[in-house]
Amino acid sequence: MKLNTKIIHAGVDPDPSTGAIMTPIFQTSTYVQTGPNEHKGYDYSRAGNPTRTALETAFAALENAKHGLAFSSGVAATDAVIRLLKPGDEVIAANDMYGGTYRLFSKLWADFGIKFIYIDTTKTEHISAAITGQTKMIWLETPTNPLMNITDIEATAAIAKKAKALLVVDNTFASPYLQNPLDLGADIVMHSATKYLGGHSDVIMGALMMNDDSLREKLFFIQKSSGAVPGPMDCFLVLRGVKTLHIRMQRHCENGRKVAEFLAGHPKVKKVYWCGFENSNGYAVARKQMRDFGGMMSFELADESVDAAIKVLKGTRIIALAESLGGVESLINHPATMTHASVPREERIKNGLSDSLIRLSIGIEDADDLIDDLKLAIG
């Protein structure tokens, strides 16, 4: 079955007791048993809930995976993955990934004896060079947030396999519509379903997808034991959201291209970071591993002062100033003070994320209106 069909039908079977075509919201904590431990597959909603099962089946289908697991947030999904490790283990991670992932790694997990090595993963030889006998995991984000750096997933998977380390890819920015890391050799895909999967900025959720049965068992055990599970109402909302992922993504990509080209041609814009430009660093790899280039981009003004950036951030009328991304509405954001405030300034600048960088999540409005809005704000 092709993706566009799977997105709509995976996990969703008519309710056997009523015929309802939509998966009911099973707002229940427990399930009546006919005898001790004799039940219909559900005993307590932390371990399993039918609305969540439907969504987890859909998650698996989206990434061509055998298994899917839903978490109460993207960072809860990331946290569950790190719980696969033990003190002394090393993780190689990208140096410009999502600020909340960096915070979880460096401020929480580093205290438990897990070592994180942050490198520029866009050059896979840097990854090979960072491998030691203790390397147990490689954590990739591609495209990265917010500089849209691209790392070759297939090449990294080969390095991980040789090192007997797990390759985990945060696929939030691309969405499964544009990129499927498991097909390229990754072991686990992670999503902040808060973003494109949910798609409507109305829910916080995380997802993990994997093929390996024993990996699924370990992660399911962590999910059930540490309990960061989403409620049935949120599962219903994301299940509804994923059904339009393909048509939303088509428009995000179309609008993304139009806005990126407009910005690139604007005399007051110095640089646009968008992986669909043929002259961008990651273009060749992006072409190889992604189906299109999406609606995420960042840019810097020719006037590099923070004040000039703030004027643009405050100046848009349709594009809202807010954290997050991947919803139907366009958002503008200042990584230095918003999404990446938890990354130390020195580290941020070293990784190329300037104080004046502006990030855009281009939504599915009319592109002409978005361009007019940016024209007005940039002046």
Residues 101 to 160 in contact with ligand PLP, rule: CB under 6 A: 101, 141, 145
DSSP string, 244-305: THHHHHHHHHHHHHHHHHHHHT-TTEEEEE-TTSTTSTTHHHHHHH-SS--SEEEEEESS--
100 touching ligand PLP, by CB under 6 A: yes
Q: How far is the CB of 339 from ligand PLP (least distance, A)?
A: 8
Residue number with CB closer to ligand PLP (152 or 170): 170
Among 63, 96, 170, 373, binds ligand PLP (CB under 6 A): 170
Q: How far is the CB of 253 from ligand PLP (least distance, A)?
A: 18
Strands of the sheet containing 90-94, edge to edge, are: 67-71, 206-210, 188-192, 166-170, 135-141, 90-94, 115-119
Q: How far is the CB of 42 from ligand PLP (least distance, A)?
A: 25
Residue with tokens 């699924």: 216
Which residues are identified as catalytic? Answer: 46, 98, 170, 195
For residue 185 the two structure tokens come to 């050799």
Amino acid at 53: T
Q: What is the largest CA-CA distance in the chain?
A: 74
75 touching ligand PLP, by CB under 6 A: yes
Residue number with CB closer to ligand PLP (158 or 341): 341
Identify the sign of the CA torsion 104, 107, 113, 114. positive
What is the rounded CA–CA span in Å between residue 61 and residue 6? 7
Among 53, 95, 172, 289, binds ligand PLP (CB under 6 A): 172
Residue 374's Cβ-side half-sphere holds a number of Cα atoms within 13 Å equal to 28
Contacts with ligand PLP, 332-371, as mask; x by CB under 6 A: ----------------------------------------
Contacts with ligand PLP, 195-214, as mask; x by CB under 6 A: x--------x-x--------
CB atoms within 10 A of CB 247: 13
CB atoms within 10 A of CB 186: 26
Q: How far is the CB of 268 from ligand PLP (least distance, A)?
A: 28
Q: Among 196, 220, 181, which Cα is nearest to 53's?
A: 220
The residue number whose beta carbon is nearest to ligand PLP equals 74
Residue number with CB closer to ligand PLP (187 or 269): 187
322 touching ligand PLP, by CB under 6 A: no
Residue number with CB closer to ligand PLP (63 or 377): 63
Contacts for 18 with CB less than 8 Å, ≥ 6 apart: 24
Residue number with CB closer to ligand PLP (192 or 255): 192
Q: How far is the CB of 35 from ligand PLP (least distance, A)?
A: 40
Which residues contribute to the site for ligand PLP (CB under 6 A)?
Answer: 73-75, 98, 100-101, 141, 145, 170, 172-173, 192, 194-195, 204, 206
